[in-house]
Structure 1
Amino acid sequence: MGVSGSGKTETSHAVADALGFRHIEADHFHPEENVAHMRAGTPLSDADRVEWLQRLVIEMQRAIDDDVGFVLACSALKRRYRDLLRDAVPGLCFAHLSIDYDTAIQRVGGRAGHFMPISLVDSQFATLESPAGEPHVLVVDASQPREQVLNEITRWMKQDGGLAINAKEDLSAAPLDSANKRGGAHGGQRSSEPANMVDSQDVEPKGAELTTQPIYGGKFAQGFDRITDWLMAALLAFMVIVVFSSVVLRYAFGTGWTGAEELSRLAFVWLVFVGVASSMRRGELMAFSMIRDRFPHLLRRLVDSVSWIMVAVASALAAMGGWNQMQFGWTINSPVVGYPLAVAMVPVAASMVALAVLALIQLVNVWRRQPPLPIAEANVTAD
């Protein structure tokens, strides 16, 4: 993993060849819309990457089904992207090819035929969240000679657990020392090599989390995100202008705008409820799952289902309340500016409807998404 120009493709090919693993190039799985955006110099949003990441999950699962190891060349710039891949393949390892800005500019500017323009290097570094400190992560100085980078990664995989991640298995009937040996059924390694078995918590399948990944994808979701993003930006700008102008008028000219406070409060109400709907869609609301994560997979699904039903019902009730307040508020005006108080209830009703719909979609996702299969061999992403 790493920013554009870090050498992901070349390095990942070399690692895959050295280990006899399958190579997966993430750039080949971008939807056409994403490629068009990047060619035009437009950075991808989180919503743009949803379908792309889902395609990568399917491709990784295909390699697992074929019982082969794989090396994935993928940027995985944000922690949430890496966690989504980890949820699909527990124990997934990441080799971060770290380079500085000047090196990235030089490399991207010197290559031809790639859809990633040099203008997007800035956004890559702005988006990057360092994986240092995360489990199963190696940070490599990618400005070193390619051979040295390759040696560091392959040595790390062989010595520090990369190649020792196996599927969970029942050892109750096996000899006592079999848990510390690698047999032919686990990737064809020599039995004398040590194997660090992944703890059961690492390989146990995970269901759909409450809010750890975006809810729904596709063009409708992208349009929803664009509308809410622009609306929140406009509301925030309006609040800043209104409050700032009121302060200037008050302290510079001894006057003031009596409606500034009222309008800024109205904009704040809109901003909060639009933000709630946007955060819900993106999977960015807080979730407390410490107890829930200890349950078996089926029980977790049941708990998640009950949670989403409660969210849907509560949101629907709040939407009904907002609608009733809107009907009542059209006949009452604000004391200073004189706008109908129903205007303040519009975002309440609309956002609660959106939350109810998103909760129902996630309720379906809880049972539609298949739990990830346990991995049968070490897997590493090199981006």
Structure 2
Amino acid sequence: MAYIINKLFRLVDIILVICIISMVVMVFGNVVMRYGFHSGFPVSDELSRFCFFWVIFLGVISTSRDQRHLSVDTVQQLLPRLSRKICWGITQLLVMVCCVLMFYGFWLQHELFVDDPAPVSGIPLLLVYGVIYISSGSMALIYIYNIFRLFMNKVSEDEYSMAPGGKKKSEEIDAEIE
């Protein structure tokens, strides 16, 4: 099971790299064409924006897995051990609820994007914004797993001592799955 999960996260990382490289090539190529040849590649602006959108929403999956989101934990560090653990659990629950709401909210708007093409490239916007399903669904599963680990008492003190998730590496989490 851990092997499959690792391969899926590796696929997310590969897609992130492809999107970032595509953005750099399209924007740089468009700048060279505009200033060097007084022409342009009109679709590059739109496609680079779409790649940026995918980078944001797929990047959130990677940071959620390793719990590397930016956070301010000043108050949490002052709490006693049990209170930090409770605070960590509440945080995981609230983020999971937000992910479910994001998934549901996009589900309600799904019909708007099915037949709506992008203005320049003509790509169906569902292909662009459909990454919200992947991102919110994956994040919700990650946070459900974290809540499950909390109730099974498999969350280390190091992990919930630093908001939102501590220093635990994805390799350590994979070892727990096996």
TM-score, normalisation: structure 2: 0.79
Task: Determine whether 1:291 maps to 2:92.
Answer: no
**Structure 1: which amino acid aligns with 2:23?**
M
| CA distance in structure 2 between the partners assigned to 1:311 and 1:220 by the alignment | 25
Equivalence for 1:363: 147
Cα deviation, residue 331, structure 1 = 1.5
User: Which string of whole-angstrom CA distances, capped at 9 and with x for unpartnered residues, describes residues 3-59 of structure 1?
Assistant: xxxxxxxxxxxxxxxxxxxxxxxxxxxxxxxxxxxxxxxxxxxxxxxxxxxxxxxxx
Give the conservation status (yes or no) of the 8 Å contact 1:243–1:260.
Answer: yes
Report Cα offsets for 1:153-189 as digits up to 9, x if no partner: xxxxxxxxxxxxxxxxxxxxxxxxxxxxxxxxxxxxx
Query: 1:208-244 CA distances to partner (integer Å, 9 max, x unpaired)?
Result: xxxxxxxxx9323321321111000100111112112
Kept in 1: contact 2:149–2:155 (CA 8 A): no
In the TM superposition, what is the alpha-carbon distance from 1:371 to its structure 2 partner? 5.7
**Structure of higher CA gyration radius:** 1
Q: Which of 335, 346, 365 is 2:119 aligned to?
A: 335
Q: Is the 8 A contact 2:103 2:132 kept in 1?
A: yes
Percent identical across equivalent pairs? 25
Which structure has the highest strand share of the two?
1
1:326–1:345 CA contact under 8 A, matched in 2:
no
TM-superposition CA deviations, 1:337-376 (whole Å, max 9, x none): 111122221112210111111111111222322667xxxx
What's the counterpart of residue 92 of structure 2?
A: 308
Query: Structure 1 regions of 5+ residues with no counterpart?
Result: 1-216, 373-383
Q: 1:371 to 1:313 in 2, by over 3 A?
A: closer
Matched residue, 2:162: none
2:75 paired with 1:269 = no
Paired letter, 2:116: I
TM-score, normalised to structure 1's length? Answer: 0.39
User: Conserved in 1, the CA contact under 8 Å of 2:57 and 2:131?
Assistant: yes
In 2, Cα distance between equivalents of 1:238 and 1:323: 28
Structure holding more helix per residue:
2
Q: Distance in 1 between matches of 2:129 and 2:147?
A: 27
**RMSD of equivalent CA atoms:** 1.9
Q: Give the match for residue 108 of structure 2.
A: 324
Letter in 2 for 1:369: K
Provide the aligned length of Structure 1 versus Structure 2.
Answer: 156
